[in-house]
Amino acid sequence: MFARELRADVERVMGITFDTDGDGRDASGGYRFWFENDELSFHLIVDDPEEGRPLDRVPAYAVPVSRSERVATWELAERLYDGLDDLGTYLLIAFERDGMPVAANFDIGDDW
């Protein structure tokens, strides 16, 4: 299942374990995973591609936020992007806070 595989890959890349009851399924039919400690918070929302796409153009959305003075949020995002890209499994797009794409490992065209 896409959500389980992505969750495991994100945990490996980021060196975290999501604190989730059961399989993380929420009332909308998607999956929500959350991690939080003194250094960072991480929210992962996943929709199984086979079941529709409430997230519009992408079946998953990840938000790492640094709480550390030593590591910036962009560094966490870059580590996540690079780690997932190295797996060669996912099509990735990284966005700035205002929604502008800053990196993609495939041609996203001009519609973003």
Residue 47 burial (CB count, 10 A): 21
109 in any annotated domain: no
Question: Model-level pTM?
Answer: 0.85
110 assigned to some structural domain: no
Q: In sequence order, which residues have a C-beta less than 8 Å from that of residue 56 and are 6 or more positions away?
A: none
Q: Look at residue 51 in the predicted model and tell me its pLDDT.
A: 53
Q: Are 64 and 81 in contact (CB under 8 A)?
A: no
Tens digit of pLDDT at every position of the chain (112 positions) = 788 899 999 999 999 999 877 778 887 778 999 999 999 999 999 886 555 544 455 688 999 999 999 999 999 999 999 999 999 999 899 988 888 889 999 888 776 6
Helix (H) or strand (E) holding 32: strand 31-36
Q: State the total domains in the chain.
A: 1
Work out the number of other CB atoms within 10 angstroms of the CB of residue 93. 15
The DSSP code for 88 is: T
Residue 111 lies in a domain: no
Range of the domain at 91: 2-104
Q: Among residues 16, 14, 5, 8, which one has the least CA distance to residue 81?
A: 14
- Other Cβ atoms closer than 10 A to 96: 10
